[in-house]
Amino acid sequence: MKLSAIAIILFCLLAGALCFASDGAYDDLTLFIQQVVDSGDIDTLLKVHFHLVDTESPDNGYNDLEMKVRLIIAGGEDLYIEFFEPEELSQIALVYLSREEVTFSVVREEAWKQYRSSYQTNLMSSLLDQFFEGLLQSSNFTWSVITEEERRVYMIDPSEQRLRLLGLLSGGGYLPNLMHIHVSFLRREGHFPKIEYVKITDRVGDEYLLLEVDEFKTVVDRSIFTDLRGKYYETFQK
């Protein structure tokens, strides 16, 4: 599933939510999604925080991992992820080229290991289909919004009543039923809303994935993928 298709699905979901938002509280989120849909390009610098239960810890502690990455998606197809932190991953990047259906790594600007990715792509597409199928069922969630002077936080939380009906409180079911999704935008008069973070937590809030957005652009210099294709085809000449 392409990024553009995912964005359109989200936009449809948000458009439905707008029918119930008489105060226009969903405008920031809708504008942001519309901006991404119209462009099809994303160039963003992210801080990624994982807070996960340490299953090997005797005192039920947690493991925390922080990463800094640059994510580029061109036309909802080609994808590039470059790692800056932790130091062990710096100078490493992962690339997906849609036309070639190939995924490969780049180490110190040299193309490295390659993976024929039709299987991985089909698997990811299947998972995304299931994810958005669950997300589009509005009865699975409750919507709320917190509005501050310079920030607006959208909260999509699982419906406890719906979870009981589906028998999911003890686990199982598809992923969206068991998570909270909170999206924060910084607000400035006369400007498009600026995404601040996305936080995804489990149902009870113990574990989470936090994506903090340092930079976000919907304009991509596509020459980066021209260069990456060159590196990919050069590997056949070695």
pLDDT in tens, 164-218: 555 444 444 444 456 788 889 998 877 778 999 999 888 777 788 899 999 999 9
172: left (phi over 0), alpha (psi -120 to 50) or beta: left
> What tokens appear for 184 in the block?
């924060």
Domain that holds residue 157: 3-237
pLDDT (0 to 100) of residue 137: 59
| pTM score of the predicted model | 0.75
The CATH code of the domain that includes 193 is: 2.50.20.10
Of the candidates 24, 237, 6, which has an alpha carbon nearest to the alpha carbon of residue 131?
Answer: 6
Total domain count for the chain?
A: 1
pLDDT in tens, 136-160: 556 667 778 888 888 999 888 877 6
Check whether 1 has a pLDDT greater than 80: no
- Mean residue pLDDT of the chain comes to 75
